[in-house]
């Protein structure tokens, strides 16, 4: 039996996507070991559950550093002490410098609340509503130096309803985030998913020309 994949997770807030990873581990569906959860905010509620589970939790408050470079130097050193094979950004609300991202090239995943390449950055749900989109969704992608610009791996769509506001749309999208992030991590842990030297997503030995789409209620993409 293969050893669980060592993982470090970065969060900034509630940690709901972290909870989805922990649930999948508890259910025996995700062969990973979370070695540490790191937050850049000392008041992040998402630190509570992993601490109760005996997972190492660490705060590296970005506000305590004079520059982004100083913050990221400590963050990188701390992450590397746990020797992770995968770094997961699960609601980590800091833009990371190209040098930091390059250090973890091919082994850093992010979850984003839109159907990338639409609406990178913040305020995705209001922007989708303002644009009159009839659907929205979430994307798991490899992280590259371009913010939210790394190659997409897996997506899930949701309808935009006539009476939606940003809050109601966000909740519908978040439900899909909780489905697709653990699945993409599982693919990586099982050796099915990687980023090649040309920056292409390779899934099951073949280049992924477009992101896989997880259908409603399906456990695997169509």
Instruction: Sketch the domain layout of the chain as residue ranges.
Output: 5-213
Catalytic residue annotation: 112
Specify the DSSP element, H or E, that contains 99: helix 98-103
Q: What is the pLDDT of residue 221?
A: 78
Architecture of domain 5-213: 3-Layer(aba) Sandwich (3.40)
- How would you class 5 by CB atoms within 10 Å of its CB: exposed for 0-12, middle for 13-18, buried for 19 or more? buried
d(CA 57, CA 55): 6
Give the separation between CA 81 and CA 26, rounded to whole angstroms. Answer: 25
Contact 160, 125 (CB under 8 A): no
166-189 vs 16-26: helix crossing angle, rounded to 10: 40
Spell out the per-residue pLDDT of the chain, length 222, in tens. 579 999 999 999 999 999 999 999 999 999 999 999 999 999 999 999 999 999 999 999 999 999 999 999 999 999 999 999 999 999 999 999 999 999 999 999 999 999 999 999 999 999 999 999 999 999 999 999 999 999 999 999 999 999 999 999 999 999 999 999 999 999 999 999 999 999 999 999 999 999 999 987 677 775
């Amino acid at each position: 039996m293969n050893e669980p994949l060592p993982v470090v997770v970065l969060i900034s807030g509630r940690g709901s996507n972290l909870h989805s990873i922990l649930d999948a581990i508890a259910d025996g569906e995700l062969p990973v070991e979370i070695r540490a959860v790191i937050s850049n905010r000392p008041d992040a509620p998402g630190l509570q559950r992993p601490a109760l589970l005996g997972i190492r939790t660490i705060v590296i408050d970005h506000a305590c550093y004079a520059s982004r470079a100083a913050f990221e130097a400590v963050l990188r050193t701390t992450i590397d002490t746990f020797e992770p094979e995968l770094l997961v950004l699960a609601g980590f609300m800091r833009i990371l410098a190209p040098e930091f991202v390059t250090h973890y090239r091919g082994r850093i995943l992010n979850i984003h609340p839109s159907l990338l390449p639409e609406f990178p950055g913040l305020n995705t749900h209001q922007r989708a509503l303002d644009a009159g989109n009839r659907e929205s969704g979430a994307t798991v992608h490899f992280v590259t130096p371009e913010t939210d610009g790394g190659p997409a791996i897996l997506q899930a769509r949701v309808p935009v309803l006539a009476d939606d506001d940003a809050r109601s749309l966000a909740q519908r999208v978040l439900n899909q985030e909780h489905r697709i992030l653990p699945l993409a991590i599982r693919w990586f842990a099982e050796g099915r998913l990687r980023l090649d030297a040309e920056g292409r997503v390779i899934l099951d030995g073949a280049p992924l020309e477009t992101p896989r789409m997880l259908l409603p209620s399906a456990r695997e993409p169509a």
